[in-house]
Structure formats: structure tokens, C-alpha cells
Amino acid sequence: MNSTSIESAIAEWADLLGESGVVPASSADYGASTIGTRRSIPAVLRPENQEQVAAVLKVAQKWCVAVYPVSTGNNWGYGSANPVEDGCAVLDLSRLNRISDFDPEMGVVTVEPGVTQGALRAFLDRHDGNYLVPVTGAGPTCSLLGNALERGYGITPVTDHFAAVTKIEAILPDGTLYRTPLSELGGEEIDRLFKWGLGPYIDGLFSQGNFGVVVKMTIALAPVPETVTAFFFSLKDDARLEALVPTIRNVLLALGGTVVAINLLNNQRMLSMMTPFPAAKAINGVLPAQEVNDLADRHGVPAWSGVGAIYASKEVAKAARRTLRRLLGPVTDRLIFINRRKVDTARKLARVLPGRLASRVMGMANTLSGALEIMHGTPNDVALALAYWRSGDLPEPGKPKNPARDGCGLIWFAPLVPIRGNDVRRYIEMIERICPEYGVNPLITLTTINDRCFDSTVPLLFDRRDPDATARAKACYQALLEAGRREGFLPYRLNIDAMNTLQTGGSAFARLASQLKAAVDPNFILAPGRYVPRVKRSEVL
């Protein structure tokens, strides 16, 4: 790719999209990322519809200039809007923000890439849609489509967000429109209701793949249950963790469909939500064990905290509470159930309590309220405050948080861990051994994604203004990746600097993926290097 080709492509894109459709990428917007990586981005392309997307790709093919699609670019901790490789024009799909084909009876809705969690919530509220939005902790400004394609997850009833996808439409690298066979045969409605379609399941290639630009996605929504009750439990003694872990699995097996996911957080992860980072007490950026214990005692934080939700009718919820008490009671120190009514009562109580106690109760009520709203399928940015614990400037009240533009340093390490006590212990020891070596505090969350496996999210938080701290955080990620590979704890998704993890030296997977990529995109103009290794066509034929 040479400068003349890029200039020629940009000129054609400007004619196609207009002045507002082709903009530069500054370090303050598209070039920013929480992982501290910056790519050379020649232009940002902002189409308004799928016809323009197709035309953009045809120009890219003509001049062999690579493009990198993003939905909203808010992929915090994984690269934000930055491409895997330098020299890619960013294809910003946020203007494709239409919601269509909402079926209130069947609970399916079709969204474009720019539809955010917050936008779908507002749409459902306007149309009396009695359904939950598949929310994440990333906040209301993040794309539903982008999260599903990355195989993201949440704790609402449809935990696996790509599992909820029933239909995909995409623009292939040559500009043609991909539709599934059922739709091609005239079965538009039934296609939206049945995930697997007819023939080979090609939709899966667009998940963590770069085989086309997905412009429409139909997702199945979970209906709002009669009751949503949150439950919280705690474990004071870390030595009892091995007994708790299999019990969590037993809860999911016993209450599948009613309790769909459980989060388990260590004390440092809880403290990151409750208190500013005590930088003066840190040694080389890491809080000493005694300081962690003192902070935990001061704020009443146990070694491990757990949270989940019961989605059920009143009768089933009552039985589920009994089951939770029976299973979790013997292996935890505290188990409580919270709903919106109890949070409202706590807020009323705070108004009549004396100063410091009132502030503490109100703070607790607000935190619980934020967690409950997410469980009710209403997105908020309560969890997003984590990104600001070590660096970044919080925006003014009322303005959305944007960790990439606000200067936060965050890299997510997100490995899969079997729900077995000894495996969880080995994993925790690995994190607690490696992170402090690189000036990173070991903040650990374990989230069940089924009844067999946790996904653990470990935020590597650092001061992005400090080049040395940024380098250490990146080295920490690499060290975790290598240790996890030896121990069997591998990530379910990768950031833009870690895509070479899949270059496994001629494996059957890498060869097949590269063959498919070369067949669909012989000039490698679409998101080169993302999940599928970039190779020469001659190397895979």
C-alpha cells in the first residue's frame, strides 16, 4: 500500500460520503485507546447506510487500501477504535443506528451496528417492549452488535450474547450482500426466529472474524420476569474458596434458567469500586497486603464477594431463595436478598440518619441500585468507574464516561477457568504472583458463563501518562498470556496487540481460517490481522 493509493482512495471516499463522511483520526478520539497503543490511521469513514458501506469496500478493493470496521469504537480495554495494523482506514458504523423488525410477541429485534445498549432500552420503553436489554458493564454507549460479535456476555438471562443472535446480514469484502438461505428463499420472518438457518452455519464466521462487515443483526430478547431479586454473599476466609466454587456450580445446575450467572470478586476488586486508589500507600504501584487488609477492614469488605440474580415468578423465586440458602448457607458467611423495594427503603432511611452514617448508607443504596438496574436490563456506567481507579479524568456529571478519551489505562485479561476449586486456586495464585511483578494490582472477577466455566476478567490498570507504567502493563499482559497458556487458562477474546496469539505455526485451524479469508478477501482489505492471520494467498492454496 503506497501513499498515492491511500490518497486516491480517500478522494473517492470523500466523493461518496461527503465532507462529513471522511474525517481525520486524532489522538483524542479514534486514535485513543485505554491499552496505550496508537495506530497510524489515514482516515475515518462514516457511512450512513449499508449501500454506502458496500461502495466503501469496492473503493478499498480498487486501491487495495485496508479498512477496519468498528461499531461505536467503545471497545474499552481491547483497543477501542484502533485497528490491528497500521495504515487501515477506520470504518465507523455508528451512523447505522436503526432499530427495526421488533416483534413484541416473539421478542426479537433487528439492530444495526450503531445501536447502543442505551438506545435499545429507550426504544423498548417507547414501544412498551417488556424485555430486558442484554447489558454489559461497559455502559449505555456501547454497541449491542459489536459486543455480540466479540462473543461478550452479561448476567441477564441471555448470558451468552452471540447465542442470542438469530440472523446476520453482512457486506462481504467485494461489496456484495450476504444473507442467510432462509431469507434468500423468502423466509424473512422465520429466519429471525431460528438461529441455525439452512445448510452450513456461515453466520458464525462473522463472530470474532473479519469475513464481512455486519450491517444488521437480529437478536432474541429475554422477557421481563415477574420478579428480579439480587442476592449477595460473602466469604471472609480465603481458605474456604475451594469449597465455595463447586457450590456455585451446584447452584447453576439446580436453578438453571432462574439463576443464570454468578459473579465472584476478590477484595481488591471490591475496593476498587468503593474507595479512591491510595497512591501514597502503594509500593511500585502495588498496594501491600497489609494496606489491602486495612482498607478491607475499614470498608467491611470480605476476602470474596458474590452476586447473582433470581429471574422468576414470585412462587419460583421463593423456592429459589430456599435453595440458595440451603446450598450457599453452609459455605458462606453471609447471604442476603435485595430488590428495588429494599433499596428504596435504604434511601429513605439514609435521609434521617446522622451525617457520616447517612452518607455510607446512601452510597451503599446507590451502588446496589446501579447493580439492580443492570440486572433489570437497564444499562448504566456504574461498573465503568473501575477504569478510572488508577488514571483518567472523570467527565463532568451528566456526561458519558469514555475511558479511552479520558486518559484511563486499562487492559483486560479475560481467560476461561473451569469451575473447579483446585483450578480456581491455581489460577488465582498465577494472577497474584504475576501482576505485582509488573506494578499491577491483582483485581479478580470470576463470572460464570455456563455451569462448567468461569470467564475471569482481570483489569490491568495503570497510569497511561507514564510510558514506563504502560510498558509494564503490556508486559504483564504478555506474561499472563504465556503463563495461562502453560496452565490451561486461555482468553476468550484478544486485544489488538495480542492477535498473533492465534499464529500457531501451521495448525489446521489457522490454515483453514486463512484459506477461507483468502477466498473471501484475496486482497486482505478488511480488518487485516484480526483473529485470522494475514498470509499471502499462495501460502494457503
d(CA 312, CA 228): 7
Task: Evaluate if residue 27 carries a pLDDT over 80.
Answer: no
Q: Does domain 227-338+381-487 have CATH number 3.40.1160.10?
A: no
Give how far Cα 110 sits from Cα of 198, 214, 331, 387, Å. Answer: 20, 12, 43, 31
DSSP letter for 366, please: H
Could you tell me what percent of the chain has a pLDDT over 70?
96
Task: State which fold the 3-92 domain adopts.
Answer: 3.30.43
Contact 378, 118 (CB under 8 A): no
DSSP secondary structure string for all residues of 221-270? PEEPPSEEEEEEEEES-GGGHHHHHHHHHHHHHHSTTTS--EEEEEHHHH
d(CA 473, CA 466): 11
d(CA 50, CA 177): 9
Contact 162, 149 (CB under 8 A): yes
Contact 391, 22 (CB under 8 A): no
d(CA 390, CA 469): 11
Task: Evaluate if residue 400 carries a pLDDT over 60.
Answer: yes
pLDDT at residue 505, as a whole number: 65
pLDDT at residue 510, as a whole number: 85
Kindly give the residue spans of alpha helices, DSSP state H, lying in 127-179: 144-149
Task: Evaluate if residue 358 carries a pLDDT over 80.
Answer: no
Q: The dihedral of CA 403, 405, 406, 411: what is its sign?
A: positive
Task: Evaluate if residue 348 carries a pLDDT over 90.
Answer: no
pLDDT at residue 273, as a whole number: 86
d(CA 217, CA 100): 10
Q: Which residues in the chain are classed under CATH 3.30.465.10?
A: 99-223
Residues 6+ apart with CB under 8 A from 250: 327
pLDDT band at 541 (very low <50, low <70, confident <90, very high): low
Q: Taking residues 118-137, report their average pLDDT.
A: 94
Contact 204, 149 (CB under 8 A): no
Residues 6+ apart with CB under 8 A from 342: none
Residues 6+ apart with CB under 8 A from 63: 5, 6, 8, 9, 12
Please name which of 413, 455, 411 lies closest in space to residue 431, comparing C-alpha atoms: 413
Q: Which residues in the chain are classed under CATH 3.40.462.10?
A: 227-338+381-487
* End-to-end alpha carbon distance in the chain: 23
Q: How many residues does the chain have?
A: 541
Q: Taking residues 461-466, report their average pLDDT.
A: 95
> In terms of CATH architecture, what is 99-223?
2-Layer Sandwich (3.30)
Please name which of 276, 474, 265, 274 lies closest in space to residue 394, comparing C-alpha atoms: 276
Q: Which three cell numbers stand for residue 404?
A: 479511552
Q: Taking residues 440-452, report their average pLDDT.
A: 97
Please name which of 240, 52, 81 lies closest in space to residue 146, comparing C-alpha atoms: 81
Name the pTM for this structure: 0.94
